[in-house]
Structure 1
Amino acid sequence: MTSNETLRDRIEDTLKTIYDPEIPVNIVELGLVYKVDIKEDNVVFVTMTLTAPACPVAGDIVREVEEKVKEVPGVSQAHIQLTFDPPWNKEMMSDEARLELGFM
């Protein structure tokens, strides 16, 4: 396992501790995290979305993602890119999340 894989695992585990305040499922299982890129010097870029563009807690979620990813051992910087392309939909959720929320 390379150091990037280990760092990626730690980042993904951290992202699983962040929950959408309106839905009791973490942002990874919800399908809100589109991409995690680890660049030179362990600068991390997370591309993510929200369940709705007008999400009232958008700033809070993005801030929490940035703060928690920065705290992961080995991460030198964290940059969060919010996108709505493609727009989020229920099909992006993991099977576990859909089952937990009664969408299966």
Structure 2
Amino acid sequence: MTNEFLSKEEEIVDTLKTIFDPEIPVNIYDLGLIYEVNVDDDGKVRIVMTLTSPNCPVAESMPEEVFEKVSALDGISHVDLNLTFDPPWTKDMLSDEALLELGLL
């Protein structure tokens, strides 16, 4: 993978860090809701994400926000967003930053 595409992945991660779960004051990336971010040579992005639960009140709006924000980035030609609940999200997926923010570290 070239540095150009690594920086594109970092740009996507930075964008994902601007999206917050409305019930938890932590961004979705540090919450561990993003399982995979891949960018190919043509600017096609594949994101695999989950929600804190299948009954999450933002089950429709949050993936839509992820899709729209990532699609709007320069150099992105297509976004394939997959929502999964396997493996199910647990508190163990929180980043150290999230644990600190929530007072759990």
When the two structures are superposed, what TM-score results if normalisation uses the length of structure 2?
Answer: 0.93
**1:34: which partner in 2?**
35
Q: CA deviation at 1:38?
A: 1.1
Identity of aligned residues (%): 53
The residue type equivalent to 1:78 in the other structure is V
Unaligned runs of 5+ in 1: none
Q: How does 1:81-92 map to 2 (within 5 A)?
A: 81-92=82-93
Q: CA deviation at 1:73?
A: 1.0
Cα distance in 1 for residues equivalent to 2:97 and 2:6: 24
Root-mean-square deviation (Å): 1.1
Cα distance in 2 for residues equivalent to 1:102 and 1:9: 26
Unaligned runs of 5+ in 2: none
**2:45: which partner in 1?**
44
* Residues paired across the two proteins, number: 104
When the two structures are superposed, what TM-score results if normalisation uses the length of structure 1?
Answer: 0.94
Q: How does 1:1-40 map to 2 (within 5 A)?
A: 2-40=3-41
Partner of 1:7, secondary structure, is helix
Q: CA deviation at 1:2?
A: 2.0
Cα distance in 1 for residues equivalent to 2:98 and 2:62: 18
Q: CA deviation at 1:103?
A: 2.4
